Amino acid sequence: MSRRPEPAQDQDPVREHLSPARALEIDPLIENPDTRIVVCCGSGGVGKTTTAAALGLRAAERGRKVVVLTIDPARRLAQSMGIDSLDNTPRRVKGIDDSAGGELHAMMLDMKRTFDEIVEAHADPERAAAILGNPFYQSLSAGFAGTQEYMAMEKLGQLRSRDEWDLIVVDTPPSRSALDFLDAPKRLGSFLDGKLIRVLLAPAKMGGRAGMKFLNVGMSMMTGALGKVLGGQLLRDVQTFVAAMDSMFGGFRTRADATYKLLQAPGTAFLVVAAPERDALREAAYFVERLAAEDMPLAGLVLNRVHGSGAGRLSAERALAAAENLEDSRIVDQPDGKAGLRNSPDTYGSSESPARNVTDGGSPATEDAEGAAPEDGPTESTEPTAPDGSRSVERLTAGLLRLHAERMQLLERERRTRDRFTALHPEVAMTEVAALPGDVHDLAGLRDIGERLAAGGTELPGTA
Amino acid sequence: MSGKGGTGKTTVAAALALALAEEGKRTLLVEVEGRQGIAQLFETQALPYEERKIAVAPGGGEVFALAIDPELALLDYLQMFYKLGSAGRALRKLGAIDFATTIAPGVRDVLLTGKACEAVRRKDRGGRFVYDYVVMDAPPTGRITRFLNVNDEVAGLAKIGPIHNQAQAVMRVLKSPETAVHLVTLLEEMPVQETADGIAELRAARLPVGRVIVNMVRPQVLDAADLELVGSVPRSAVARTLSSAGLGGARRGGHAERLVEPLLAQAEEYAERYALETEQRAVLADLGVPLHELPLLAEGMDLAGLYALARKLRGQGVS
């Protein structure tokens, strides 16, 4: 990766103060044997899954026994890790460097399967069959709002209690409200614990015969109202379901609480993943605040897809002006039809600096007189194509400059967005991951991301 | 309007609402995910659960916006159909509202789509539709079919009763030719894949697929001929050209010379991206759905940019 873009030099002293107080150092985090769970959260489309997978791979290649729980990986990434078949159990990932004694396992969450397994584990076979066949259960488990979040946390709890891995890296579902995975267990827990359940359970427990008589008026009004809204038959399905699940509720509640506590425990580290875009960082700020409010241990922010430039000292304005210079000279030359011929010696061979004619002067031009002298072979070899060649080289160079100007504008925009976040949350450690031109879908790509993750925290400008 | 997270579906939905409102039309932009993305986009305060005018389109059209809160929508609905004022409050106390809007299968989605469909069908006293168009900023592509089809699912679950009837009515609107599900994507592998999957799912559920809108398309700076040259051009020639443009010495170690490698590296990254984008464009073209492109706004998204995107959509005949 010799061409890896370096973060541009920070030339603005005021801006420098806005650099995060702390760099997020990934390696100490994932190497620390006390770190048992890393949760990657963030809004959709910021590279959460890739970050989780890259962290897992890096930790494994540094000697830890890791399992990565992903929610919805890109197909090719899943294939490369050998988890494209949904069987809801961790699979060992082949092809990693295990010389440090580590292992990488990965799994893709199957929501319905996870729910089914809980039911099967906690109810006798007959009751389990009744629950699994209940239409209400079938739609609930197939993924309505909140189920995925709950099941991800449930699976996390399961993996943790098996205690087979040193480190569990979790990717969180792309929630509508980003922290649903925190809320869902509580919500489900309080629902299952709540009065409503008892209301719903009442008629079923009474056996429905003489039972109705003993129901108090308030309760029958509630079931009546629910029945009106949902339809009597659906309500009966719900009641049957709730009755069948009754024995498991205590368990649900306990597990939800345990998982929640597990997330607050010292062995857990939350990483908020974002991209340097306004919306993603706004979500990230919200996450940071929510995690703090819930006493969840935040390790830092991973800022993905940050652009850099190896030519950061050439500003967008100068690059554009130079591009215009080149393009103007082309337009001026074209009418006489000899542009190529005339331009060719100027650009390629002549020791007379064309800069003097083309630019408005300025000190760099003087220096060019020598600079324009032929240096070596390549220049000569292009001579035959010079008539078209010089024009196309000018065109290309103008294009390169425009591309660079665009890059610098992007850099500036990203920096402003990042600084806004940093100003709000200077306490949050940050690592930046340089953008890749394409998608990642193999272990080599993940390894590369892992390196960028680890290096990004230490290369930040202004962090001593 | 749906799309993978991060593709800018809220922005495109808002731009479409603006584009549709031109020439005196009235559109309603509906938000269902409780993010207040519309308010941020139009630079207004958080939207309450009521329809309110948020923009005026060129030609005198109006855009209204509504952020649907499922809890309030349910109480609304109970009130409307059953006059359950106090019982509604009691239900909330019991956690039943929470239950119904978050955990009960699909009730939430029925309420959200139901409210939108109500706005679609609403007429004023003169019998004219109150809104010419309703644009919904819907859940992401991965969930859209389930979201829209939830009414079918609930209609199957609740075989009788008001929810059943409501669900049936909603499905009739959603599957009618007056509805179109547009998908927003980027020219990147995952969003394009998700768009292809989403279209297949929508078609399987017989929901009407509209158009694919490729958002944030970057301008073409280098063409194929330029890119070919990137690999073969002598470094010194580029250095001299840079120098001739006033960027310092072309000599080894000179300012211009030191720019060559980084600039060519950026061009190579561009070439790689260009190849990927070409590939993704081909995938999209095979979907058999009308394609539209919206440019990446160099200055980032703001209100002026939104109007610019609306003009683009209109120019491409989307509205």
Contact list in A for residue B109 (CB cut-off 8 A) is 144-145
User: Range with the lowest mean pLDDT among A107-116, A228-237, B253-262?
Assistant: A228-237
Which residues on adjacent β-strands are paired with residue B183?
A: B2, B212
Q: What is the pLDDT of residues B86-118, one digit of tens each?
A: 665 666 665 566 656 555 556 677 778 888 998
User: Range with the lowest mean pLDDT among A43-57, B63-77, B209-223?
Assistant: B63-77
- A242 Cα to chain B: minimum distance (Å): 12
CB contact under 8 A, A364 and B243: yes
A321: burial class by Cβ within 10 Å (0-12, 13-18, 19+)? middle
User: What pLDDT sits at residue A442?
Assistant: 87
Mean pLDDT of A156-172: 91
The length of chain B is: 319
- Token representation of residue B137: 């900023």
Contact list in A for residue B161 (CB cut-off 8 A) is 227-234
Question: Would you call A327 an interface residue with chain B, using a CB distance cutoff of 8 Å?
Answer: no
CB contact under 8 A, B246 and A232: no
- A376 Cα to chain B: minimum distance (Å): 8
The C-alpha atoms of residue A82 and residue A98 are separated, in whole angstroms, by 17
CB contact under 8 A, A140 and B257: no
With a CB-CB cutoff of 8 Å, which residues 244-273 of chain A face chain B? none
Give the closest of A145, A227, A278 to B108, CB-based. Answer: A145
CB-based contacts of A111-117 (< 8 A; 24+ apart in sequence): A111/A141, A111/A142, A111/A143, A111/A147, A111/A148, A111/A151, A112/A141, A112/A142, A112/A143, A113/A86, A113/A87, A113/A88, A114/A88, A114/A151, A114/A154, A114/A155, A115/A140, A115/A141, A115/A147, A115/A151, A116/A141, A117/A88
- A194 Cα to chain B: minimum distance (Å): 7
Q: How far is CA A394 from CA A311, A312, B261, in A?
A: 19, 22, 16
Q: What is the pLDDT of residues B2-38, one digit of tens each?
A: 998 778 899 999 999 999 998 889 999 999 877 788 9
Which of the residues A397, A407, A441 would you substitute to probe the B interface, choosing the one with the greatest number of B C-beta atoms within 10 Å? Answer: A397
- Token representation of residue A172: 């969180």
- A164 Cα to chain B: minimum distance (Å): 32
A442: burial class by Cβ within 10 Å (0-12, 13-18, 19+)? middle
Is pLDDT at A8 greater than 80 in this prediction?
no
CB contact under 8 A, B226 and A395: yes
Using an 8 Å Cβ cutoff, are B227 and B274 in contact?
A: yes
User: Which band of pLDDT confidence, cut at 50, 70 and 90, is reported for residue A190?
Assistant: low
CB contact under 8 A, A176 and B34: yes
What is the per-residue DSSP string for B109-155? HHHHHHHHHHHHH-B-TTS-BS-SEEEEEPPPHHHHHHHHHHHHHHH
Is pLDDT at A306 greater than 90 in this prediction?
yes
User: Which band of pLDDT confidence, cut at 50, 70 and 90, is reported for residue A14?
Assistant: very low
Q: What is the pLDDT of residues B252-292, one digit of tens each?
A: 888 999 999 999 999 999 999 999 999 999 999 999 999 99
Question: Would you call A309 an interface residue with chain B, using a CB distance cutoff of 8 Å?
Answer: yes
User: H or E element: which one contains B294?
Assistant: strand B291-295
Q: Which three-class secondary structure state does DSSP give residue B182?
A: strand
Contact list in A for residue B242 (CB cut-off 8 A) is 322, 397, 401
Higher-pLDDT residue of B66 and B317 is B66
Domains and their CATH numbers in chain B: 2-218+296-314 (3.40.50.300), 235-265 (no CATH)
CB contact under 8 A, B105 and A144: yes
What is the per-residue DSSP string for A154-214? HHHHHHHHHT--SEEEEEPP--SSTTHHHHHHHHHHHHHHSHHHHHHHHHHHHTTSGGGGG
User: What pLDDT sits at residue B189?
Assistant: 86
The C-alpha atoms of residue B218 and residue B145 are separated, in whole angstroms, by 29
Is pLDDT at A26 greater than 60 in this prediction?
yes
The C-alpha atoms of residue A435 and residue B101 are separated, in whole angstroms, by 40
Mean pLDDT of B113-134: 91
Q: How many other C-beta atoms lie within 10 A of the C-beta of residue A75?
A: 14
Give the closest of B4, B239, B276 to A438, CB-based. Answer: B276
- B17 Cα to chain A: minimum distance (Å): 20
Is pLDDT at A351 greater than 50 in this prediction?
no
User: What pLDDT sits at residue A201?
Assistant: 61
CB contact under 8 A, B241 and A196: no
Q: Which residues have a Cβ under 8 Å from the Cβ of A259 and sit 6 or more positions away? A: A153, A154, A156, A157, A185
Which of the residues B189, B247, B301 would you substitute to probe the A interface, choosing the one with the greatest number of A C-beta atoms within 10 Å? Answer: B247
Question: Would you call A314 an interface residue with chain B, using a CB distance cutoff of 8 Å?
Answer: yes
Mean pLDDT of A130-152: 72
The C-alpha atoms of residue A395 and residue B238 are separated, in whole angstroms, by 10
Mean pLDDT of A446-459: 84
Q: Which three-class secondary structure state does DSSP give residue A382?
A: coil
Question: Would you call A137 an interface residue with chain B, using a CB distance cutoff of 8 Å?
Answer: no
Give me the helix-helix angle, A195-206 and A217-230, nearest 10°.
90
Using an 8 Å Cβ cutoff, are A418 and A281 in contact?
A: yes
User: What pLDDT sits at residue B263?
Assistant: 95
CB contact under 8 A, B193 and A74: yes
User: What pLDDT sits at residue A246?
Assistant: 64
Q: Which three-class secondary structure state does DSSP give residue A96?
A: coil
CB contact under 8 A, A353 and B256: no
- Token representation of residue A168: 């569990």
In chain A, whose CA is at the least distance from the CA of B277? A438
Domains and their CATH numbers in chain A: 32-205+242-306 (3.40.50.300), 321-410 (no CATH)
Closest alpha carbon to A348 in A384, A396, A322? A384
Is the backbone of residue B60 left (phi > 0), alpha (psi -120 to 50) or beta?
left
Interface confidence: ipTM more than 0.85: no
Using an 8 Å Cβ cutoff, are B307 and B315 in contact?
A: no
Is pLDDT at B310 greater than 80 in this prediction?
yes
Give the closest of A3, A177, A355 to B244, CB-based. Answer: A355
Give the closest of A309, A323, A354 to B266, CB-based. Answer: A309
In chain A, whose CA is at the least distance from the CA of B222? A399
CB contact under 8 A, A370 and B226: no
CB contact under 8 A, B241 and A394: yes
Q: Which residues have a Cβ under 8 Å from the Cβ of A201 and sit 6 or more positions away? A: A239, A242, A243, A246
In chain B, whose CA is at the least distance from the CA of A369? B249
Contact list in A for residue B5 (CB cut-off 8 A) is 43-45, 174
User: What pLDDT sits at residue A10?
Assistant: 44
The C-alpha atoms of residue A248 and residue B23 are separated, in whole angstroms, by 60
Mean pLDDT of A101-128: 86
Give the closest of A322, A346, A375 to B245, CB-based. Answer: A322
Using an 8 Å Cβ cutoff, are A283 and A43 in contact?
A: yes
Using an 8 Å Cβ cutoff, are A350 and A372 in contact?
A: yes
User: What pLDDT sits at residue A11?
Assistant: 46
